[in-house]
Amino acid sequence: MSERTLVLIKPDGVKRRLVGKIINRFEEKGLKIVSMKFMLLTKPQAEKHYSVHKDKPFFRGLVDYIISGPIVAMIVEGNSAISVVRLMAGSTDGSKAAPGTIRGDFSSSVQNNIVHASDSVDSYNYESQIFFNQAEIIESEYGDESLL
C-alpha cells in the first residue's frame, strides 16, 4: 500500500555531510521523494514537532538540538513507506542500531541519531504539516512504479 512519511535529516547528519548518502538509500530502495527542503527549524516548530515529549526530562534537549543547525526535511512515498523507512533508519539508539541501517552505520547515540522518521500515519499527518504545505508536495509519476 502506497503511503507517505516524513523524514528529517537532523543537524548531525547535515554537519557530517551525509545528506546525499541518506537520500540515496531511500531512492535505491525505490521510495520516491515528493517534497524536500533544506531549512533551519524555529523553536516553535521544534516544540510543536516534539510536543508528544513535552513533559519528559529530555524535551528541552531535543528542541535545542534540532534547532542547533540546518536540517533536511522530506516527504517520502512508497509501498509501506512508514515501516520501510523506520526499518531503514534502525533503532533510535544509534549504539544499538543494526549495521546496515542509517543509524547503525552513522550514529552511536540516542540524541545525535542522524534521522527522524514518522512512526505512524497519524504522526505523519501531524508532523508533515509543521514542515510542508500542500502546495509543496509534488504529485508526479516517475514511470518506474510498476517495477517496484
Question: Which residue in 14, 71, 116, 127 is the catalytic one?
Answer: 116
Helix (H) or strand (E) holding 142: none
Contact yes or no for 105/99 (Cβ under 8 A) = yes
- Please name the amino acid found at residue 103: R
| Residue 49 annotated as catalytic | no
Contact yes or no for 10/88 (Cβ under 8 A) = no
Contact yes or no for 91/103 (Cβ under 8 A) = yes
Catalytically annotated residues: 116
